[in-house]
Structure 1
Amino acid sequence: MRSATPLLVGLFGLFSLQTPAADLTAQLNQFFKARDAQHADSMQVVLRTPAAQWPPCETPHFSLPGNSRPWGNISVAANCGQQRRYLQVQVQVSGQYVVAARQVTRGTTLASADLQLMRGRLDTLPARAVLNPQQAIDAISVRDIPPGQAVTLSMVRQPWRVKAGQNVMVIAQGEGFNASGEGRALNNAVVAQSVRVRMGNGQIVNGKVAADGNVLITL
């Protein structure tokens, strides 16, 4: 009987490790799916951290840094009261993403015919991959994009709403104050981007480009 005791202890120890593993993985899946309900059905979280480094409580509180990526290899803080452990997980997600439908040369204004949707692992795509064609339609490519290449936001820019040398209307608004005047843009800018404008009196002001092309200054 005594010789069987270590074996029984080992078996109980194995079961005690397996159950928390399933519970912890389930909790992590629930945490990440709640953060991204759109892709929850195709999401799977794989726990990479060894059991010896898991949090000591049954229901840890998970948190992520503000700049954490949504998928892929991620470090998750698991808090048990004053104790904190970091878990390494891989968040696997499948879904649709945008690729070039044909060869796109630098400087091309993208149209729907230049793009197509494919389905695959989103967590393996380059950073800032385009998932919706509307994010890229009417944008201008800043590099050549071969057919089948996943399109990212770093490969395109929005068209200039204001160009350097263009006459623009500057509208200044504040509490109980509203004034406008015409000036000349000193740099290119897209909507919501900052632009410098030389006014008729020679003064240079800074404002943000509105969708209608006017430059707005808040006082």
Structure 2
Amino acid sequence: MRNLTALFVSLLALATLPASAADLSAQLTQFFQTRDAQHAAGMTVEIKTPQAQWPTCDAPHFSLPGNSRLWGAMSVAATCGDTRRFLQVQVQVTGEYLVATRLLARGSTVSPADFRLQQGRLDTLPSRALFDAESITDAVVLRDIQPGQPVTLSMMRQPWRVKAGQSVMVIASGEGFNASGEGKALNNAILAQSVRVRMGNGQVVSGKVDADGNILISL
């Protein structure tokens, strides 16, 4: 009788075991691939949570906070009926990212020839890593970047479209109103950034820089 009881307990434990590692990993991989179709082919999910804490149903419902990143280390809610468990996972993605082809010295202006694409793990890259050179053409390097080093947005800035002391045209517009006048910029600014301008009468106004270097004010 004791042996039968032990066998029953063992069978009951097997019936309530979490999903297999292969099944759950495949389901999670499909969930994350749907969120980022661009990198789906190079994506896998490694589950960090011990198996004893996994959901027990065959097909749990997965969800993430609204501000979750696309890959890297994160927590996923897995719901089975009224039971919710949180899984710690590492979403691994392989793809192309931007690296420097040579030493890029602080203060220098870059061109597409200064970068190349390299294949590797995207989920281990620094925050705000770049994946193409189009957005940083003519940008100015803020600190030395070594050859082969992954490039991030924080390593450079767009060139100044307006510089302090420069004469600029201020264009103010509103409903049924349009006026312009010349003044001097009081600070440096890149495209679409705010700049303060001292007008000829001494008045100081603020507006945003457009592609032509004009200062736009909406009234």
What interval of TM-score do these two structures reach, taking the shorter chain for normalisation?
Answer: 0.7 to 0.9
- 1:97 is matched by which residue type in structure 2? Y
Residue of structure 2 equivalent to 1:121: 121
Aligned residues of 2:75 and 2:88 also touching (Cα < 8 A)? yes
Equivalent residue, structure 2, for 1:60 = 61
When residues 61 and 198 of structure 1 are mapped into structure 2, their CA distance, relative to the original with a 3 A threshold, is same
User: 1:138 matched to which residue of 2?
Assistant: 138
Structure 2: distance between partners of 1:119 and 1:12: 47
The 10-residue stretch of structure 1 (98-107 or 80-89) with the greater mean CA deviation from structure 2: 80-89
Shift of 1:53: 3.9
Kindly provide the CA deviation profile for residues 131-176 of structure 1, in whole angstroms up to 9, marking residues without a partner as x: 1121332111111111111111111111011111111111222222
Deviations 1:101-129, CA, capped at 9 Å, x for gaps = 11111111112221111100011111111
CA RMSD of superposed structures (Å): 2.5
**Which one is further off, 111-120 or 156-165?**
111-120
The two structures have a TM-score, normalised by structure 2, of 0.87
* Change in 2 beyond 3 A, CA 1:156/1:70: same
| Corresponding residue number in structure 1 for 2:216 | 216
Aligned residues: 218
Over the matched positions of the two proteins, sequence identity in percent amounts to: 63
**Superposed counterparts of 1:175-190, under 5 Å:** 175-190=175-190
- Rounded Cα–Cα distance in structure 2 between residues aligned with 1:209 and 1:38: 34
CA drift of 1:71 comes to: 1.6
Secondary structure of the residue aligned to 1:86 is strand
Letter in 2 for 1:40: A
Write out aligned runs for 1:9-158 (5 A): 9-10=9-10, 13-14=13-14, 16-19=16-19, 22-54=22-54, 58-66=59-67, 68-78=68-78, 84-158=84-158
Q: Which amino acid aligns with 1:185?
A: A
Q: 3-state DSSP class of the match of 2:144?
A: coil
Structure 1 residues 147 and 181, CA gap change in structure 2 (3 angstroms): same
8 A contact 1:63–1:78 mirrored in 2:
no
Inter-partner Cα distance in structure 2 for 1:12 and 1:85: 21
Q: CA–CA distance in 2 between the matches of 1:203 and 1:126?
A: 44
Is 2:162 the partner of 1:162? yes
Structure-1 residue corresponding to 2:194: 194
CA shift at 1:27, angstroms? Answer: 3.5
Contact in 2 for aligned 1:105/1:144 (Cα 8 Å): yes
Name 2:174's counterpart in structure 1. 174
Aligned equivalents of 2:143, 2:165: Cα separation in 1:
26
DSSP-derived class of the 2:160 partner: coil
**Contact 2:19–2:56 under 8 Å retained in 1:** no
Q: Is the 8 A contact 1:60 1:79 kept in 2?
A: yes
| CA distance in 1 between partners of 2:72 and 2:218 (Å) | 41
Q: Say if 2:60 and 2:78, in contact at 8 Å, map to a contact too.
A: no
Q: Matched residue of 2:211: which SS?
A: coil
Residues 218/24 of structure 1: CA separation in 2 closer, same or farther (3 Å cut): farther
